[in-house]
Amino acid sequence: MGQKVHPYGFRLGVSKDWKARWINEKNYKEYLLEDLKIRDFLKKNYMAAGVSDIYIERPEPGKVVITIKCARPGVMIGKKGSEVKLLRQRLEKLITRQFQLNIEEVKTPETDAILVAEDIASRIEKRASYKRAMKRAIFTAMRKGAKGIKIMVSGRLNGADIARTEWYLEGRLPLQTLRADLDYGYTTAFTKMGIIGVKVWIYKG
């Protein structure tokens, strides 16, 4: 039976770059744990900023470069940089080394798979129709220049007794083409009836 490879991992080194750019055999465990803490902290505490990607580089021992890509950088920076100062103070408790913080804006969040998945999950949690949320996301992504998009939701949809999977596809989605700029995002919606998984694939060209 055929198994599906992760679209991002499949393209690493070809059309996608590593999200952790460092190598250290001696302190590997320590660095990896630190990376996980940073990612977890940013994802949990800055959901309102629409965090899409977090890139962590270690160009030299004792230095960390964190690049955060988000849809609403103003939320993370704050008025006159007040929020970013607080963010630095909180990160200092997690990182024992000197670090540099870069915040970049995602120009078209409507074609960012992770942000689209999180938007759909948030609508489902607010008891909106999953079909309407999916169709709205597809329409917006295609209007913003996506060449193709597929959205899949799984779980007890609309509170049904039996879990099922539903998906919508529009345009092209070349999953086997390595040079294709294919974005993938996955998240979960927590409802009273249980967990609903949301997966999004977006082909940008």
For residue 58, name the pLDDT band (cuts at 50, 70, 90): very high
pLDDT of amino acid 152: 96
CATH number, span 7-105: 3.30.300.20
pLDDT of amino acid 159: 87
Region(s) of the chain under CATH 3.30.1140.32: 109-203
Is 123 or 96 the better-scoring residue by pLDDT?
123
CB atoms under 10 Å from CB of 144, counted, come to 15
The CATH class for the domain spanning 109-203 reads: alpha beta
Pairwise CA distance, residues 14 & 102, whole Å: 25
Decide if 77 contacts 49 (C-beta within 8 A). Answer: no
Give residues with Cβ within 8 angstroms of 118, minimum separation 6.
47, 50, 185, 187
Region 35-40: mean pLDDT is 93
CB atoms under 10 Å from CB of 85, counted, come to 12
- Given the DSSP bridges, would you call strands 63-70 and 51-60 parallel, antiparallel or unpaired? antiparallel
pLDDT of amino acid 2: 64
CB atoms under 10 Å from CB of 71, counted, come to 21
Pairwise CA distance, residues 138 & 202, whole Å: 9
Choice among 90-99, 110-119, 149-158 with the minimum mean pLDDT: 90-99
Residue 161: pLDDT above 80?
yes
Region(s) of the chain under CATH 3.30.300.20: 7-105
For residue 133, name the pLDDT band (cuts at 50, 70, 90): very high
Residue 82: pLDDT above 80?
yes
pLDDT of amino acid 191: 92
| DSSP string computed for 92-144 | HHH--SEEEEEEEE-S-GGG-HHHHHHHHHHHHHTT--HHHHHHHHHHHHHHT
Cβ burial of 126 (10 Å; 0-12, 13-18, 19+) is: exposed
For residue 15, name the pLDDT band (cuts at 50, 70, 90): confident
